[in-house]
């Protein structure tokens, strides 16, 4: 296969930034080279050194003066909610019942699921996201469409058919046995095929009976390497209703713990209103709280205490995500802009190094996939995003006075969106330019 050599400013993280001046936490090459071959990064470093190691027929693409970073990772979104986005609702439960559940019913039709899957991957690529963790609908057809399209695009994706057997319309219900059987079929058909990862996906405790939670526990025991994804502590009415459904549990988090679902592969969407006990339990289990700022603001769910959870004596592992369609943007840049504002409202500071760490290496670590993605290290997947901080006239004007890398990152996060994504490379291939 022909090698591709990218030239530009390379930026990637090696550890969690401790401050705005923590230059040990990242690698930055002002004239960098990134050599990709057969889907993998084979060399990364100063351009002159990497160029000297490249094959004579390597195709060189000059991205100067743009920034080259690991592709963004979105830790939580709903593939069947592309046409739910921007729905006018008072709160989470009204939004689910009025818009989301009726829309998800349509995914029983393969043709609809396939059509939306095509758009889904187009949007991810357009916004520089190269890996995402998604909920499909309850229908196996939706998971089949999701994974088939991921394979076609050669993207590293995590996803699962949601299991839900109560408190939703008939067209969206499985049964404990059916949810178990279909998830096993999906694992057999798709897990490890291409770059696919199947996640065990009980939607949330409200829509699963105790019998279904037991079936989920059985799956988690049989497939301990798989991710588990669900929702936790998003909205006060949701918390109250959930705890009424599981009166024996100490609190919402304890419901999942009782069914063996609180572990280091479990991704809990939201976690806005955790008690100290719940945060301790999350920390002890190394479970991941996935912050979805545009969704939390859009649905009025609350202000996620990101910095407070990170700095606890018992810190909670964090992911960041769009939560389409409760979320209002496919862009991880827009997402981190809103995350920043939420911390401002809480009297906290989220510095731009932390933001870009979270979107790349931080999310990769929370997925236990940092040996493959979220980095520009030699031997890892060639999933890369190229960013232009002067993408619009307004951004270009501001760039005239930007002096440092962190100022540039902050501008990109504050004003950037898909227009700032010059190119998205998926497994070494320019995917955005091909849309
Ligand atoms: Zn969600």
What are the pLDDT digits (tens) for 346-403?
999 999 999 999 999 999 999 999 999 999 999 999 999 999 999 999 999 999 999 9
- What is the distance in A from the centroid of ligand 1 to the CA of 201? 11
Distance CA 231, CA 252 (A): 10
Instruction: For residue 295, report the distance from its CA to the centre of ligand 1, in Å.
Output: 9
Per-residue pLDDT at 18 exceeds 80: yes
How much is the pLDDT for 3?
Answer: 97
Write the pLDDT tens digit of every residue in 138-168.
Answer: 999 999 999 999 999 999 999 999 999 999 9
- Region 248-272: mean pLDDT is 98
> Ligand 1: distance of its center to the CA of 170 in Å?
20
Tell me the residues surrounding ligand 1 (ion) with CB < 5 Å.
269, 323
CA of 306 to the centre of ligand 1 (A): 17
**Could you tell me which of 317, 320, 323, 333 has the C-alpha nearest to residue 388?**
333
Mean residue pLDDT across the chain = 97
Cα–ligand 1 centroid distance for 184 (angstroms) = 22
270 CA distance to ligand 1 centroid (A)? 8
Using pLDDT thresholds of 50, 70 and 90, give the confidence band for residue 23: very high
CB contact set of 21 (below 8 Å; sequence gap of 6+) = none
Q: How far is the CA of 292 from the centre of ligand 1 (A)?
A: 8
* Ligand 1 center to 233 CA (angstroms): 11
In contact, 264 and 226? CB cutoff 8 Å = no
- Confidence label for 28 from pLDDT (cuts 50, 70 and 90): very high
Output the CA 56–ligand 1 centroid distance in Å. Answer: 48
Element (H, E) at 144: helix 140-153
Strand, coil or helix: what is 324? coil
Provide φ and ψ at 392, rounded to 5°: -125, 160
**225-249: average pLDDT:** 97
Please give the distance, rounded to the nearest whole angstrom, from the Cα atom of residue 330 to the centre of ligand 1: 14
CA of 203 to the centre of ligand 1 (A): 8
- Distance between Cα 232 and ligand 1 center (Å): 9
CA of 169 to the centre of ligand 1 (A): 18
pLDDT value for 177: 98
The alpha carbon of 324 and the centre of ligand 1 are apart by a number of angstroms equal to 7
- Sorting pLDDT into bands at 50, 70 and 90, what band is 1? confident
> Mean pLDDT across the stretch 258-271?
98
Cα 280 to averaged position of ligand 1 atoms, centre (Å): 23
Of all residues in the chain, what percent carry a pLDDT higher than 70?
Answer: 100
Distance 78 CA to ligand 1 centre (A): 6
Q: How do residues 119-135 score in pLDDT, each as one tens digit?
A: 999 999 999 999 999 99
204 vs 231: CA distance, rounded Å:
5
pTM of the model: 0.98
Q: How many CB atoms lie within 10 A of CB 277?
A: 12
Distance 97 CA to ligand 1 centre (A): 14
Give 231 Cα–ligand 1 centroid separation in angstroms. 6
Residue for token pair 């695009």:
153
How many Å is the Cα radius of gyration of the chain?
Answer: 21
Under a CB-based contact definition with an 8 Å cutoff, are residues 121 and 153 in contact? yes
H-helix or E-strand spanning residue 50? helix 47-53
E strand or H helix at 252: helix 252-258
Distance from the alpha carbon of residue 379 to the mean position of ligand 1, in angstroms: 33
Each residue's pLDDT tens digit, 166-203: 999 999 999 999 999 999 999 999 999 999 999 999 99
pLDDT digits (tens, 9 = 90+) for 41-80: 999 999 999 999 999 999 999 999 999 999 999 999 999 9
How much of the chain, in percent, has pLDDT values that exceed 90? 99
């Amino acid at each position: 296969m022909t090698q591709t050599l990218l030239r530009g400013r390379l930026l990637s993280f090696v550890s969690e930034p401790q401050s705005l001046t923590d230059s040990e936490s990242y690698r930055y090459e002002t004239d960098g080279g990134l050599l990709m071959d057969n889907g993998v990064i084979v060399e990364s470093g100063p351009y002159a050194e990497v160029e000297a190691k490249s094959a004579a027929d390597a195709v060189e693409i000059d991205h100067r003066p743009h920034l080259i970073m690991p592709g963004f990772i979105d830790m939580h979104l709903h593939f069947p909610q592309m046409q739910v986005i921007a729905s006018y609702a008072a709160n989470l439960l009204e939004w689910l019942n009025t818009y989301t559940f009726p829309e998800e019913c349509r995914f029983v039709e393969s043709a609809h699921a396939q059509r939306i899957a095509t758009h889904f991957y187009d949007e991810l690529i357009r916004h520089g996201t190269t890996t995402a963790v998604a909920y499909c609908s309850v229908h196996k057809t939706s998971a089949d469409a999701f994974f088939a399209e991921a394979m076609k695009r050669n993207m590293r994706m995590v996803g699962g058919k949601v299991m839900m057997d109560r408190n939703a319309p008939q067209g969206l219900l499985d049964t404990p046995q059916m949810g178990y059987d279909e998830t096993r079929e999906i694992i057999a058909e798709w897990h490890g095929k291409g770059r696919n990862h199947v996640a065990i996906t009980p939607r949330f405790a409200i829509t699963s009976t105790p019998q279904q939670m037991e079936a989920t526990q059985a799956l988690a025991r049989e497939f301990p390497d798989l991710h588990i994804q669900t929702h936790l502590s998003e909205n006060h009415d949701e918390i109250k209703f959930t705890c009424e459904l599981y009166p024996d549990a100490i609190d919402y988090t304890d419901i999942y713990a009782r069914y063996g679902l609180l572990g280091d592969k479990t991704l809990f969407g939201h976690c806005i209103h955790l008690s100290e006990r719940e945060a301790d339990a999350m920390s002890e289990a190394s479970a991941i709280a996935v912050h979805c700022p545009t969704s939390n603001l859009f649905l009025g769910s609350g202000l996620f205490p990101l910095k407070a959870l990170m700095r606890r004596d018992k810190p909670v592992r964090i992911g960041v995500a769009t939560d389409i369609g409760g979320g209002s943007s496919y862009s991880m840049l827009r997402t981190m802009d809103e995350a920043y504002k939420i911390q401002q409202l809480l009297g906290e500071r989220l510095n731009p190094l932390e933001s870009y760490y979270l979107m790349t290496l931080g999310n990769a670590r929370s997925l236990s996939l940092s040996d493959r993605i979220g980095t520009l290290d030699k031997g890892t997947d060639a999933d890369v995003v190229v960013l232009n901080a002067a993408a619009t006239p307004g951004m270009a004007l501001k760039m005239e006075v930007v002096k440092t890398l962190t100022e540039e990152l902050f501008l990109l996060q504050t004003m950037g969106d898909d227009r700032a994504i010059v190119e998205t490379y998926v497994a070494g291939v320019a995917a955005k330019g091909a849309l």
